[in-house]
Amino acid sequence: MNFPTFKIRCSGIGKIMTDPRGKSVREKIDDLKIVLAASMEKLSVTKDTLKTYSNIEAKIAVINEKIKALQPYIDAPNLSETCISFLESWANEFAYNRRVDFSSKYTAKGTAVEEDAINYASGHIPEMGLSSKNLTRFRDEYLEGEPDVISAEYVFDTKASWSHETFPLYSKDLPEPAYDWQVLGYMSLTGKKKGRVVYVLMDMPEEMIIKEARWKLGSEYTRPQYDEFAAQYLYNDLPAYLRIKEYEIPYDEEKVEAIKNRVLQCREYINNVIVPSIEANAKKYQ
């Protein structure tokens, strides 16, 4: 199985940068060896005629099997389950030559109003200027991504909130930490030293309001009922301070280097764990 060299999309950096909760494979093997040594010592002072002796032997056999099973992965990077799951999904795209695109009504709205959100925000944020959506995709040895807006000093990533209930008006800290990593990736790719995440509250497209109305009101709603319902998802009558929320993302060289190191670890995992796993299955069924 020949995979392309792994590069992380900026939108996925947050997933590979999650910290592992458990011990590394090497640490697990070291722990098992300690238990094994203690069991061996206990066996050496136990009479072989006792039932305890056979119990200890059985325990030693189990420990040795566990060590044997872990040994091929002793040098595998200690990655989080979230990161490993992400890498397996990435590998599946190439192994099966099929891509799975995640979509929800929340991401669908974001896509539908993306350009309008950029235009609205750029009219109220001086640092953006009168910007339009960036269409250039950047790549380097480790990363790839397409920032929403690139200005003289900044890269901007816009996020269209689903509704006023999900808009982070009162949140002092960035609601989704993964967006910090995403913008850092954009800064690394573009050479910019300043970045912002900009939440924007835009009108919901009518076709999406209709779907919501059918779900929440049923199929027999009246026009006045629909108009009252739709008004809850239309925001053009509101001032900008209720529709725009900015979060400054400072450039951090250490974090950028950490991203690059994690990409290298991901490549190790793909080469040393994922590929051998596929190859072993291939040998079994060829």
The string of pLDDT tens digits covering residues 102-140 is 778 999 999 999 999 999 999 999 999 887 899 999 999
Is 217 domain-assigned? Answer: yes
Cα-only R_g, the chain: 27
Is 166 domain-assigned? Answer: no
Is 84 domain-assigned? Answer: no
Tokens of 85: 């799951």
Question: Please, which residues have CB within 8 angstroms of residue 263's CB and are 6 or more apart in sequence?
Answer: 6, 7, 8, 16, 142, 143
Q: Are 178 and 186 in contact (CB under 8 A)?
A: no
The pLDDT assigned to 226 comes to: 93
Is 193 domain-assigned? Answer: no
Range of the domain at 226: 204-237
In this predicted structure, the answer to whether residue 62 has a pLDDT above a threshold of 80 is yes
Which of 13, 47, 74 delimits the end of a domain? 74
Is 45 domain-assigned? Answer: yes
Residue 272: how many CA atoms within 13 Å on its side-chain side? 18
Question: Please, which residues have CB within 8 angstroms of residue 48's CB and are 6 or more apart in sequence?
Answer: none
C-alpha dihedral sign at 150, 151, 155, 159 = negative
Helix (H, G, I), strand (E, B) or coil at 251: coil
In whole angstroms, give the CA distance from residue 186 to residue 158: 13
* pTM across the whole model: 0.83
pLDDT (tens digit per residue) in 13-58 = 999 999 887 787 888 899 999 999 999 999 999 998 889 999 999 9
In whole angstroms, give the CA distance from residue 252 to residue 274: 31
Residue 60: how many CA atoms within 13 Å on its side-chain side? 15
- Count structural domains, the chain: 2
The pLDDT assigned to 19 comes to: 86
Question: Please, which residues have CB within 8 angstroms of residue 23's CB and are 6 or more apart in sequence?
Answer: 31, 78
Q: Are 45 and 181 in contact (CB under 8 A)?
A: no
Is 67 domain-assigned? Answer: yes
pLDDT (tens digit per residue) in 245-272 = 999 999 999 999 999 999 999 999 999 8
Is 273 domain-assigned? Answer: no
Q: Are 270 and 91 in contact (CB under 8 A)?
A: yes
Q: What is the mean pLDDT of residues 216-234?
A: 91
């189990």: which residue's tokens?
62
Is 109 domain-assigned? Answer: no
